[in-house]
Chains A and B, each alone.
Chain A
Amino acid sequence: KNEVEQSPQNLTAQEGEFITINCSYSVGISALHWLQQHPGGGIVSLFMLSSGKKKHGRLIATINIQEKHSSLHITASHPRDSAVYICAAPGLGTYKYIFGTGTRLKVLA
């Protein structure tokens, strides 16, 4: 079992839908990082958070440290949101990331 688990692994949505991607972790962490990777593309940082909620445009990330759970929400999804979304976290006392296996999102027009 991975120390960082994501669900779902694959997700297909219609344009305009509200999307939620979940990330659960079993290790102590100092913060959690959400990353985005478009097909054939590089890895882009979306959010890094250690508590509460962050918002950027149509993207919202939340984290509950006690429950060891984070969610990434996309409001009014668009085909350009189609990408793999990865959560990752450095363990406590370490700088090395533990990566989730990613959620492959496809938004249909």
Chain B
Amino acid sequence: NAGVTQTPKFRVLKTGQSMTLLCAQDMNHEYMYWYRQDPGMGLRLIHYSVGEGTTAKGEVPDGYNVSRLKKQNFLLGLESAAPSQTSVYFCASSYAAYGYTFGSGTRLTVV
């Protein structure tokens, strides 16, 4: 099925560990986004990309890095995980402003 696929779906990390979340889309969308969702905070933009090889900071970029080496993939990295990064992470993609398609989310717990 066409759409946005996120892996992994769940992960528990120890403080200081690193990990990479993968987002893959097969809709040929130019724009891709990483959000985090925390209780009472709504969705907050971490980083985004407007095309292959480009990335930009969103509202809450600290502690995260991203890469978009291929158009269909957008990777979110945590170099040294902290408990404050416990959250649900959503990837989304869009063709310009014509509506986002979201992935199913990654539930990350940092202990």
Binding site for B on A (CB under 8 A): 30-31, 33, 35, 41-45, 48, 86, 88, 90, 94-97, 99-102
Binding site for A on B (CB under 8 A): 31, 33, 42-43, 45, 48, 50, 58, 90, 92, 94, 96-105
Please tell me if the beta carbons of A45 and B99 are within 8 angstroms of each other in the complex: yes
> 8 A–B contact pairs at CB < 8 A?
A43-B90, A45-B99, A45-B101, A88-B100, A94-B97, A95-B31, A95-B96, A95-B97
Given A42-B102, A43-B102, A44-B102: A90 and B42 interface contact (C-beta under 8 Å):
no
Q: Which residues of A contact B92 (CB under 8 A)?
A: 43
Q: Which residues of A contact B99 (CB under 8 A)?
A: 31, 33, 45, 48
Q: Shortest CB–CB separation between residue A85 and chain B, in angstroms?
A: 12
CA distance A99 to B36 in the complex (A): 12
